[in-house]
Each structure stands twice: as C-alpha cells, then as structure tokens.
Structure 1
C-alpha cells in the first residue's frame, strides 16, 4: 500500500494530471442529476477531481473528504474551506446530508469486504432520499489492456478485487440502493511502459509482489527484455457505477 502522505506532492503528475481529472469529473457529472445541491467527494485525494466537480455547476456545493493529511492539505489549497479529514467508514455527517456522494478510486484500496460494505453503507446513510451514489469499480482490471506488459504479468499473484462491480452492486442493494446507470472514462496518461512498470514493481505498487522478492525480480527481468522500454501502451478505461436511494 502506498503512503499517501508521502505521495501527495507528486501524485497528480504520476496519475495523468488534469486530462485524467477532467475525464473523471465529466463522467461522474454525467451520472449526477442537474438539480443536485450538495455533493460529498470521498477519498478526494489532492482535490484535482473535486475542484472540477465544484466548478462545473454554479449551484453545486461540494465537500471533499480524505483520510490522509498530505492529500487533504493539497485539496484544501484548491478548495479552501471545503475539505475535511475523515474516515470513509465513519463519516462525520448526519443522515441524509447530501444529494450525491462520489468515491473515485477508493474501494479498491480497502483491506477487506467488511470495509467496502462499511463505506457503501456510510454513503447510503448520508444520502438524502432520491440521492445518488457514484463510484469507480474494477480498477485493477482496467489496467489490463491486452499489451505485451500484461502478457508478462499475467501469471502474477493477485489480491481479490475489493471493488469488483458485482460485489459493489451487491453491497449497494443490501443498503437499499438501486442501480442507476454505468459510465466509462479514459485514464489519460496511465498507459504502462515496461520501464515504468518495472520501477513500480520496485516501489511495491503491486501488492502481492514485495520489492526484492525473487518472483518480483523475475517479473522485472522479463519486463526489461520487452521492446520500446519507454513507450506507453494503451491507456486504461475506468468504469463507474451509480446507485439511487429510493425517495419513498
């Protein structure tokens, strides 16, 4: 797991920057009704997407929440007075506070199914009746674009996806939320190159491949043998799901 306090300053540059943030925000807004008044953006990170959500519609009041101080500090510089430190599993808001809740690139980070259920339940709790919850799903799978890099990594050990769409839909249903539609967006600047992927292995970004482990080193050697070491392969396409809280 990354240390997001340490990663905060360089995070945006390593994650596609403004083009990816624009694509994410546009896709999220496409799933949120035009009349939405208050929106909570969970795991807002540096606020790069949150700021775009806030500026897209004049009547939309956006609050960002993140667990890590480093990320929240950067988000607060982008949206002064609108960012809080909060654990998504125990939100400091009353029932029915928001017309919409978003969690972009959050659920895949959680440790187990209980945590994912807890976050989805909290999102449902703070939604008003008729409100909408929007979240990314299947993040890890989006990075498998059929490239030669994916062929090299195909046999690596993988952690079970915490944000698998079928599971998130199940948890949402348990909380009384109804499916309200999907969306997709391009992860600009996220296409892997062999050299960058080997560096990510060395940093521990692949959770089941510890740095220095013989298996990790074997994968790194295979990556080093690929052609076009610095050419990014195709960008991933990320998936969103939206859910509505019944009005009755």
Structure 2
C-alpha cells in the first residue's frame, strides 16, 4: 500500500534552512566532482534521475561526464540553486511520490539523502517503480567514517549517538532494497577525500546549526549535549589551526531485475 502521508508527516527533511550556505559548508562543486567519479562506473547509459538533487553539484559533475541527468528535490530553496546549475531539468518532488512515470529512467542516484527521506523502504520502492528493467539505483549513504584527529573526542560526544541511530547503514539499505524487489550488485565505500577543519570553525558550525541533526534540539538538550562539546572544542590547543583528515561513506548499487 502506498504511503499517503506528506513528507513532513513521515519526517522527511527539507534543507531550506541551510540552502543559502549549503555549498560552502559541504564542499561545493569540488566535492560533487569527487562523488561523480565514484558514481560513473556504476551508471548505465540513458536517463539518470537524481533524487535529492540539492544544489545540483553532483548532477552538474555527472552531466559534464556526458550523462543525461534530471533532478528532483523536496526543498524549493535547494532546487532553485540546482536550476542555476542545471537549467530547467530540476523539479520539486518527494522521494516517496516521484513526479516520474513508471519504468522511465535507466538509473536513480541518491547521494547523502536516504537518512533524510522519512522511510528508506518506501523511497527505494519508489525508485524501483521509475526504473526500467535492468536499471540501477546507486546510493552514497551511511554516516561518514574518518581518520583520527584530536577533535574526535568532542565530536563523538555529540554525533556518536546520532551516528548510531542513523537509518541508512549498509545492512539497512540492502534490506530495504531487497524488500523493494531490487538485487544487490555492490556494497563498498566511496573513495576517501580530504577535509580540513579547525576546532573553532567546527564550533561555529555547530552554533549556527549547520547540520540538520541539530535543528530540533530544544534549549534543554542544547545545554546538556551541545554546550559541553563547544567548550571542549575551544579548549583544544591551537583552536584556529586546521586539522586535515580523510573521510568516506558507503556506496551501494542495486538493480531492478
């Protein structure tokens, strides 16, 4: 039975609140280029639909590699920025009710979106619906894994419990794909990429609620969980010195029989 609830009722997350600074806090087009390199080997020729196209950085990089990409996003503000990169190849839509005909695309791409859709099984079932037989779903998902730095202690106190509760682990995504009638072709990791952040910069990003995990923290939770982390980050030696680390995510590929 189709899920007739609205996106908000399911708990899907719109990135309208962060759209104006999403690119600058998530790596922008350079990060999109790196992700595209990981996706291309798994994508067949034909029409590619990116669900959760965001500001269009991944779709733009895929188009530069010769792929025919269209995109859909829940957030009007994010989609507006994607139109600026892709032109009129972006529309508003819900991952659980894609504005796309049955069996009309050759691949569905989902990058850092499965934990935000308010139900992975439903989103993958909808992806399976719009895929032609033999088509593929290629997803980048799961909480990031990173090499160690001295910011880890503070980060783990805040994001550790959130990471453990994320719904888009490899096992969960594979089970949801199976339930949607998809077969698993590959589960591995993305290429590692290098990030650099200073403790003070991270503290500022936390204070300005850069990550969606923090948007619903009330004052009590903020004082209990966030304030001690901010204090710990700012107490580290040389809080303005950038710490470089490598980070990577899960990469899963599924096919419609």
State the TM-score, normalized to the length of structure 2: 0.84
* Greater share of helix: 2
Following the alignment from structure 1 to structure 2, what is the Cα–Cα distance between the partners of residues 92 and 2?
18
Q: Identify unmatched segments of 5+ residues in structure 1.
A: none
Equivalent position of 1:132 in the other structure: 136
Equivalent position of 2:230 in the other structure: 220
User: Aligned match of 1:84 in 91, 99, 102?
Assistant: 91
Residues 163, 90 of structure 1: alpha-carbon distance in 2 compared, 3 angstrom cutoff: same
Alignment of 1:86-105 (within 5 A): 86-105=93-112
Residues 2, 106 of structure 1: alpha-carbon distance in 2 compared, 3 angstrom cutoff: closer
Alignment of 1:1-248 (within 5 A): 4-33=15-44, 36-57=45-66, 60-111=67-118, 115-138=119-142, 140-142=143-145, 144-156=146-158, 158-159=161-162, 160-181=165-186, 182-189=188-195, 191-204=196-209, 205=211, 206-207=213-214, 212-230=222-240, 231-246=242-257
SS of corresponding position for 1:236 = strand
Q: Identify unmatched segments of 5+ residues in structure 2.
A: 1-11
Q: How large is the Cα RMSD of the aligned pairs? A: 2.2
Q: Which deviates the most, 206-215 or 19-28?
A: 206-215
Following the alignment from structure 1 to structure 2, what is the Cα–Cα distance between the partners of residues 110 and 243?
18
* Alignment coverage as a number of residue pairs: 236
Cα deviation for residue 245 of structure 1 reads 1.0
Residue by residue over 1:224-248, the C-alpha shift from the partner in whole angstroms, topping out at 9 and shown as x without a partner, is 11123231330311221111111xx
Q: Is the 8 A contact 1:89 1:119 kept in 2?
A: yes
